[in-house]
């Protein structure tokens, strides 16, 4: 097995809520509430879930864009949370991020060349004399012409700007790229181009991706492994095929069944589970299993006991789900209430 590049252990990210007469902290938004996972070198791990599940917060916490409340983040054998601010900045060379809206994260008054030069400058990995060539190479690598380097970001289309974002991330030869909804804002035809590009770059530069997304079609196509989150917790984790073809957690099943398929007469008309209600607030998450308020299989036990991630003997290695009844549901001895 490949080397573990990123180890996240019991990561928690609570955001305080101020209020009351004197503006004290009266509660917390438990955005990420104790999650653990590993990412191996060269693989793509996707974190999926609906808004408020904590997937983006997880990415930000790993990068220390927000300081995590507690937990451990080990990257390439080093504890990121123990690093000083200065050392962390240095370390960011190895952990790059691509956001959903590349335009929001680049200076509109800089040309692409200046943007890339700045990135190279900060991390100082390429000698000054070679930077011009490096920039030309980067532009070609992400499918833009080297001659476009002196244009401003607004002269590019959305898809091209995302390529600029990728070029900037690549410029410092990172080990891990965290892509936070990197292709979500793009039109289908452009999205496909960017996905193909990201896969190509992964092969060429043996990159590791932590891919945060809500579009499960994209996730299936790009990932080796998938983490499903719900209200700040991991409910299921496993290799892509297991998650999509053999989901164990009722939430994963509902999520997959809710996606409309571009086929008016699917071969096997799947049974759609339509979940009732909304995702509860992460301020006062439900006790026990957080999904119990919407779960068609929930019992009294689910309201009290917090289920742990575990594997069953019929599940593939590394595939784990956090449901008290996963085995019974699989065997058909525990049935849905609606």
Partner 1 sequence: MFTFIVRRIIQTIPVLIGVTILTFSMMHLIPGDPAQIIAGESASPEQIELMRERLGLNDPLPVQYFDYIRGVVTGDLGNSIRSGRAVSSEVFLRLRPTIELAVYSTILSVFIGLIAGVFAAVRRGGLSDSLVMIVALFGLSLPNFWLGLMLIQYLAIGIDIFGINTGWFAASGWGTWQQQVLPVLTLGTAGAAIIARMTRSSMLEVIDQDYIRTARAKGVKERVVIYRHALKNALIPVVTVVGLQFGTLLGGAVLTETVFAINGLGRLIVDSIRARDFPIVQGGVLIFALLFVFVNIAVDVIYRLLNKRIDLN
Partner 2 sequence: MAETTDILVEEPILEVRNLQTSFFTKEFEVKAVDGVNFAVPKGKTLGIVGESGSGKSITSLSILRLIKNPGKIKGGEIIFKGENLLDKTESQMRQIRGNEISMIFQEPMTSLNPVYTVGQQISEAFIIHQNMSKKEAMLRSVEMLELVGIPSPKQRVKQYPHELSGGMRQRVMIAMALACDPELLIADEPTTALDVTIQAQILELMEDLQDRLGMSTIMITHDLGVVAETCDYVAVMYMGKVVEYATVKDLFKNPKHPYTVGLLNSLPRHDIDLGEEDLTVIQGSVPAPDQIPEGCRFAPRCPFASDICHERLPHLEQSEDGNQIRCWIYTDEWDGDPEVNVNGERTS
Which residues of the chain form contacts with partner 2 (CB under 8 A)? 50-51, 157, 159-160, 187-193, 195-196, 199, 214-222, 241, 244-245, 254-266, 272, 274-276, 278-279
Question: Taking CB within 5 to 8 Å according to partner kind, which of partner 1, partner 2, none is near residue 287?
Answer: none
Among 9, 10, 16, 19, contact with partner 1 (rule: CB under 8 A): 19
H or E element at residue 87:
helix 85-91
Question: Taking CB within 5 to 8 Å according to partner kind, which of partner 1, partner 2, none is near residue 50?
Answer: partner 2
Of the candidates 216, 229, 338, which has an alpha carbon nearest to the alpha carbon of residue 277? Answer: 338
In what side-by-side order are the strands of the sheet with 70-75? 24-40, 4-19, 70-75, 78-79
The residue (of 26 and 304) whose beta carbon lies closer to partner 1 is: 26
CB of 280 to partner 2, least distance (A): 10
CA angle 80, 84, 89 (to 5 degrees): 75
Binding-site size, partner 1 (CB under 8 A): 5
228-244 per-residue burial string, b: 16 or more CB within 10 A, e: under 16? bbbbbbbbbbbbbebbb
Among 1, 20, 265, 266, contact with partner 1 (rule: CB under 8 A): 20
**Candidates 13-21, 40-48, 118-126, 263-271 — which segment interacts with partner 1 by CB under 8 A?**
13-21
CB of 22 to partner 1, least distance (A): 8
The residue (of 23 and 266) whose beta carbon lies closer to partner 2 is: 266
Among 1, 22, 188, 274, contact with partner 1 (rule: CB under 8 A): 22
**Candidates 17-25, 69-77, 174-182, 200-208 — which segment interacts with partner 1 by CB under 8 A?**
17-25
24-63 per-residue burial string, b: 16 or more CB within 10 A, e: under 16? eeeebbbbbbbbebbbebbbbbbbbbeebbbbbbbbbbbb
Question: Taking CB within 5 to 8 Å according to partner kind, which of partner 1, partner 2, none is near residue 19?
Answer: partner 1
CB of 217 to partner 2, least distance (A): 4
Distance of CA 304 to the CA centre of its chain: 29
Distance of CA 252 to the CA centre of its chain: 16
CA of 64: how far to CAs of 1, 40, 97, 232, in Å?
Answer: 28, 20, 12, 17
On whether the CB atoms of residues 42 and 36 are closer than 8 A, the answer is no
- Does residue 16 belong to the site contacting partner 1 (CB under 8 A)? no
Applying CB under 8 A, which residues contact partner 1?
Answer: 19-23
């Amino acid at each position: 097995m490949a080397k573990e590049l990123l180890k996240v252990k019991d990561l928690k990210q609570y955001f305080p809520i101020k209020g009351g007469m004197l503006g004290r902290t009266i509660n917390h938004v438990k955005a990420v509430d104790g999650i653990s996972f590993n990412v191996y070198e060269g693989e793509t791990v996707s974190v999926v879930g609906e808004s408020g599940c904590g997937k983006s917060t997880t990415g930000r916490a790993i990068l220390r864009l927000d300081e995590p409340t507690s937990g451990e983040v080990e990257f390439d054998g080093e504890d990121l949370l123990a690093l000083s601010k200065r050392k962390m900045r240095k370390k960011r060379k190895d952990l790059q991020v691509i956001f959903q809206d590349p335009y929001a994260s680049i200076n509109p008054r800089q040309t692409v060349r200046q943007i890339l030069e700045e990135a190279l400058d900060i991390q100082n990995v390429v000698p000054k004399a070679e930077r011009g060539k490096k920039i030309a190479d980067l532009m070609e690598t992400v499918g833009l012409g080297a001659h476009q380097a002196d244009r401003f970001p607004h002269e590019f289309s959305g898809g091209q700007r995302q390529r600029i974002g990728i070029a900037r991330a690549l410029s410092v030869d990172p080990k891990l790229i965290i892509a936070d909804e990197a292709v979500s804002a793009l039109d289908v035809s452009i999205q496909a181009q960017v996905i193909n590009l990201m896969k190509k770059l992964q092969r060429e530069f043996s990159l590791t991706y932590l891919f945060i997304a809500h579009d499960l079609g994209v996730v299936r196509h790009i990932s080796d492994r998938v983490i499903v989150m719900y209200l700040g917790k991991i409910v299921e984790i496993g290799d892509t095929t297991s998650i999509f073809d053999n989901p164990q957690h009722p939430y994963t099943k509902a999520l997959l069944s809710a996606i409309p398929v571009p086929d008016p007469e699917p071969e096997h008309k799947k049974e759609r589970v339509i979940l009732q209600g909304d995702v509860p607030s992460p301020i006062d998450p439900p006790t026990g299993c957080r999904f119990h308020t919407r779960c068609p299989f929930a019992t009294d036990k689910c309201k009290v006991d917090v289920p742990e991630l575990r594997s069953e003997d019929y599940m593939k290695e590394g595939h784990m789900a956090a449901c008290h009844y996963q085995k019974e549901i699989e065997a058909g001895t525990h049935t849905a209430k609606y």
